[in-house]
Amino acid sequence: MSPAILERCRKMVDRPLKRRLRQAANWLLIRRNGLAEMGEGAQLAWETRVPVGSRLGRFAYIGSGFRAPSPISVGDFCMISTNVTIVANDHGVDDPETPMRLAFRWQHHVTVFEADAWIGHGAIVRAGVRIGRGAVIAAGAVVTKDVEPYAIVGGNPARTLRQRFAPEAVACQDALLYGEIQGPGEP
């Protein structure tokens, strides 16, 4: 991340007293939730729990009512609003000799939210999906497949409504956030 952007976050999101309080609270949250990592300035809303082994990037935010069955990886500056749910594909529907109620197919799939993504209130995301950097998921959207970087998606099932920026602006945004332009697939 760009040092200039990190410093802006420290000044605007985490002023000195708040930073010290958050460091203590995050130390407890890491242990309570069994997190693999919790970056500087990361925030969990009151009574929000994330699965064991999850990673939260710097200045990431997860709102109240968040639910996920498997670990998540949340990039720097990512915002996940209230009542967002990650759902698993956990029942088989193809075996005529087994009722669906008994056809469990439980597997852990890590869901990835890349840097600077914004997930709107009440969105539902299928476990194992990758939300690209800078993407916006509309409130109430049902995301069943990967979302490209800087795409704005909405609906059920979610589809691309438009791109956030023109290609030249993407390069500018990447340079601002990262200090250099990132290659495809790099969070």
Q: Which residue of the set 91, 108, 109, 121 is catalytic?
A: 91
For the range 85-91, what are the long-range contacts, defined as Cβ-Cβ under 8 Å and sequence gap of 24 or more?
Answer: 85/123, 85/124, 85/125, 86/111, 86/124, 86/125, 86/126, 86/127, 87/124, 87/125, 87/126, 87/127, 88/126, 88/127, 89/126, 89/127
Q: Is 121 a residue of the active site?
A: no
Give phi and psi for 169, each to the nearest 5. -70, -30
- Does residue 58 come out as left (phi exceeding 0), alpha (psi in the -120 to 50 range) or beta? beta
Catalytic residue positions? 91
